[in-house]
Structure 1
Amino acid sequence: MSVKGFMTSAVAAGVKYQDRLDLGLIYSETPAVTAGVFTTSQVKAAPVIIDIERLKQEGRSQAILVNSGCANACTGKQGMESALRISEMLSTALKIPDNMVQLSSTGVIGDQLKMSAFENSMQTLVDGLSADNFDAVAKAIMTTDTVPKTASRTVMIGGKEVTLMGMAKGAGMIMPNMATMLAFVITDAQIGFPQLHSALSGSVERTFNRITVDGDTSTNDMVLVMANGKADNPWIDEESTENLELFQDSLESLLKDLALMIVTDGEGASKCITIRVCGAREDSDAEKVARTVANSNLVKTAFFGEDANWGRIIAAMGRSGVKFNPDRVDIAFNDVVIVRDGLAVGKDAEEQASKVLKEKKFNVCIDLKEGNGCEEVYTCDFSIDYVKINADYRS
């Protein structure tokens, strides 16, 4: 599958390692409406700062250049100058305005970019542009990921077929606020900037902002969507409520696929778990409880050990800051109820629940019985491999 008017390319530039794809390019033949959401960390990488400013001014872009191997974060004036120089290199090679370039980096924080890697590879990268390299770019943005992450959707809008293709990277430092690690979506939809930004922000809130691997937020998190209008569908604007809903549903479905791929590929993870909290007074209360449980290291290590230790779950709930009556709480693993009205159901139920924990994917269902609020957060287990991966990440 490809998206009309878009081309991609990837090369092994040697940003950090040799003979490994690490520099990717996404290019639209014409300027594309572009929306982005970015890390809310006070510590922002140079490319994030540049992208935010450019999108404020333009709301359009024509290229995304992304490297792995070096985050270009906490690199001061030199890091900013390097990013701007790389942007200039690409815009010259593509013959497009410099402000039409969006930049993205991922890797070790604090290292300066190896400029020779970009200087020696930029023309080769541009010369390699084709409609068939989307998967190669998805590989080029990987760091501790074990698999590339891509997804696609098609939707009929006004009698025209609209295509969306997305990629993401992320396996650790995952509990974003407004974005998650790196994700890029291209679409041939014809849509206004306010509508694209609204669709992206809402979709991210219900997908990427509902996942956690380790409770950490990156300095480089971003999600970018480029829409070049080549599908020639009726313009999606403030009057196109129905078409906007169709587009947003497709975008959100695609982003949810990518978000769950990130959780499933969490560093050292062996299980993907949905924490579903219902019966809260408000949806926001349900989310707080679910997120506290999903981030608990004790809960996550119990999942890894396949131990139905519900005491860790209710203990995490108790420090969520949400008021509830513990004597009314029900907890179930999939359909196996292990706690009813705050009390253990019994050994037989615990044995059945332990069997559920042996599965690769399962749900933890919590009913507070306080109201109608309900939310989900997606997490993974916490394994010995997570510690090993992050103990020697810079080596």
Structure 2
Amino acid sequence: MPVNLPIPAASSLHAVNGVRIGVVEAGIRKAGRKDLTVMLLDDGCSVGGVFTTNRFRAAPVQICRNHLVAGNTRAVVINTGNANAGTGADGLARATQSCAALAKRLNLDATQVLPFSTGVIMEQLPVDRIEAGLDAAIADARADHWLKAAEGIMTTDTQPKAYSTQVVVEGRTVTVTGISKGAGMIRPNMATMLGFIATDACVAPSLMAALARELAEGSFNRVTVDGDTSTNDSLLVIATNKAGHAPIVDLQSPAALVLKAAMLEVARLLAQAIVRDGEGATKFITVQIDGGRTEEECRKVAYAIAHSPLVKTAFFASDPNLGRILAAVGYAGIDDLDQGLIELHLDDVHVATQGGRHTAYREEDGQRVMKQSEITVRVGLGRGTASQTVWTCDFSHDYVTINADYRS
């Protein structure tokens, strides 16, 4: 069961003027599961993306990056059940073919279509099934199909992930709606996750790549489930330019700051939903590092804690074996770290001070916190004023079971 993650209601998701979505079952994955989604964008949208740092990028990631450079994106095609990764030249050809098939039906150029895939690696993409399902997907396209899309892009997710908000920008009501998928093979620098965030705000096309990077840096690059960086992870950000306010041409302008705050709220909720629905997760853990000299060294410490199987299994068992956290701090890669300055808290419980056990700490207090479904680990480095936060989950027996049985 996801950790304190409500199932979104379709009525809570605002339509974004300029985006229509169709979702069908094309037989790409198991029977009875919707697995093909198309997004149809009105002409004049501004689009930006962020993609996996894995050097073994999937074919659709490579095609997406090239097509974004070409500009004037008008459609998106997403399949689940097959990652089209580790498929060589054949995979590139099949991803290109899926773009061409959708483009032909919409009277577009193939470069105006962005492909996304998620699922099993090193299996041929059944592009014939994608092509066979496109007409039905186009016919199904509606502005209010965001929840259907969230369901259609799921793989090992146990429930759909979607959020929506509205904000006033220069006197105009602006909508931000997004969906994501992901539950395993998740770590910073993107992961086996797909994210799609759209707004009807007016944003200059030249700003979209930077906007996508900012949103990813404050959200999807702050989550980790198991430390594995996927071949397919992608975040697409769309501005349809329909809201009617003056175009945003500076990401530091007052209008941009209002819009970015709303978009970052949606992005963070989507990213945190991935952790809350992490494979086999029973606890949602916030790791906050304070007192670093730089944000980079704070991130190193946070990720060392959040990636540690020993730390994560201790949280699953509610076992206050908290020396594992101190050990992770020590191997995070800060060469001149002074352990005598380290402070460790679990929520309100002061566990360690000046690098050693706090005299008032009792193991039953640590266990009390570790039994909670939501926990905050706070580490003070005593080196400066920088801070960073990441979100992770525990490791349970179910994580092994899910991944051992993934292809069956």
Is residue 290 of structure 1 aligned with residue 293 of structure 2? no
Alpha-carbon spacing, 1:239–1:381, altered in 2? closer, same or farther (3 Å): closer
Q: Give 3-state SS (helix, strand or coil) of 2:185's partner.
A: coil
Percent identity reads 39
Question: 1:3 aligned to 1, 6, 16, which one?
Answer: 16
Q: TM-score, normalised by structure 1?
A: 0.96
Q: Which residue of 2 aligns with 1:337?
A: 350
Tell me, which stretches of 5 or more residues in structure 1 are unaligned?
none
Q: Which residue of 2 aligns with 1:269?
A: 281
Contact conserved, 2:191 with 2:232, CA < 8 A, in 1? no
Q: Give 3-state SS (helix, strand or coil) of 2:74's partner.
A: strand
Q: Give 3-state SS (helix, strand or coil) of 1:320's partner.
A: coil
Offset of residue 338 of structure 1: 1.2
Offset of residue 346 of structure 1: 5.1
Is residue 168 of structure 1 aligned with residue 185 of structure 2? no
Counterparts in 2 of 1:229-248, with a 5 A limit? 229-238=241-250, 241-248=253-260
- Cα distance in 2 for residues equivalent to 1:123 and 1:264: 35
Is residue 98 of structure 1 aligned with residue 116 of structure 2? no
1:256 maps to amino acid: R
Q: CA RMSD in A?
A: 1.5
Q: Which deviations, in whole Å up to 9, do the C-alpha atoms of 1:207-256 show, x marking residues without a partner?
A: 11111101111100110011111111110003871111111111111110
Is residue 328 of structure 1 aligned with residue 341 of structure 2? yes
Q: Give 3-state SS (helix, strand or coil) of 1:61's partner.
A: coil
Contact conserved, 2:346 with 2:377, CA < 8 A, in 1? yes
Q: Give 3-state SS (helix, strand or coil) of 1:390's partner.
A: helix
Counterparts in 2 of 1:14-93, with a 5 A limit? 14-58=27-71, 60-93=72-105
Q: Which residue of 1 aligns with 2:362?
A: 349
Aligned length: 394
Contact conserved, 1:178 with 1:205, CA < 8 A, in 2? no
Offset of residue 90 of structure 1: 0.7
Offset of residue 115 of structure 1: 2.6
Q: Give 3-state SS (helix, strand or coil) of 1:234's partner.
A: coil
Q: Which residue of 2 aligns with 1:255?
A: 267
- Cα distance in 2 for residues equivalent to 1:301 and 1:346: 26
- Cα distance in 2 for residues equivalent to 1:329 and 1:197: 38
Is residue 203 of structure 1 aligned with residue 215 of structure 2? yes
Contact conserved, 1:25 with 1:65, CA < 8 A, in 2? yes
Q: Which residue of 1 aligns with 2:145?
A: 133
Contact conserved, 2:38 with 2:78, CA < 8 A, in 1? yes
Alpha-carbon spacing, 1:202–1:240, altered in 2? closer, same or farther (3 Å): closer
- Cα distance in 2 for residues equivalent to 1:266 and 1:76: 30
- Cα distance in 1 for residues equivalent to 2:269 and 2:22: 23
Is residue 142 of structure 1 aligned with residue 154 of structure 2? yes
Q: Which residue of 2 aligns with 1:214?
A: 226
1:261 maps to amino acid: A
1:284 maps to amino acid: E
2:407 maps to amino acid: R
Offset of residue 193 of structure 1: 2.1
2:217 maps to amino acid: E
Contact conserved, 1:279 with 1:367, CA < 8 A, in 2? yes
Offset of residue 179 of structure 1: 6.3
Q: Which deviations, in whole Å up to 9, do the C-alpha atoms of 1:67-107 show, x marking residues without a partner?
A: 10000011122211111111111112222222111110000
- Cα distance in 2 for residues equivalent to 1:381 and 1:189: 38
- Cα distance in 2 for residues equivalent to 1:198 and 1:321: 29
- Cα distance in 1 for residues equivalent to 2:169 and 2:27: 42
Contact conserved, 1:180 with 1:209, CA < 8 A, in 2? no
Q: Which residue of 1 aligns with 2:123?
A: 111
Q: Which residue of 2 aligns with 1:367?
A: 380
1:88 maps to amino acid: A
Alpha-carbon spacing, 1:176–1:327, altered in 2? closer, same or farther (3 Å): closer
- Cα distance in 1 for residues equivalent to 2:167 and 2:207: 17
Tell me, which stretches of 5 or more residues in structure 2 are unaligned?
1-13
Q: Which residue of 1 aligns with 2:4?
A: none
Q: Which residue of 1 aligns with 2:394?
A: 381
Q: Which residue of 2 aligns with 1:123?
A: 135
- Cα distance in 2 for residues equivalent to 1:131 and 1:335: 45
Contact conserved, 1:157 with 1:234, CA < 8 A, in 2? no
- Cα distance in 2 for residues equivalent to 1:272 and 1:208: 15
Q: TM-score, normalised by structure 2?
A: 0.93
Contact conserved, 2:22 with 2:37, CA < 8 A, in 1? yes
Offset of residue 385 of structure 1: 0.7
2:216 maps to amino acid: V
Q: Which deviations, in whole Å up to 9, do the C-alpha atoms of 1:307-348 show, x marking residues without a partner?
A: 121100000111111132112211111011111222222585
Q: Which deviations, in whole Å up to 9, do the C-alpha atoms of 1:237-294 show, x marking residues without a partner?
A: 0387111111111111111000100011111111110111111122211111111011
Contact conserved, 1:273 with 1:361, CA < 8 A, in 2? yes
1:369 maps to amino acid: G
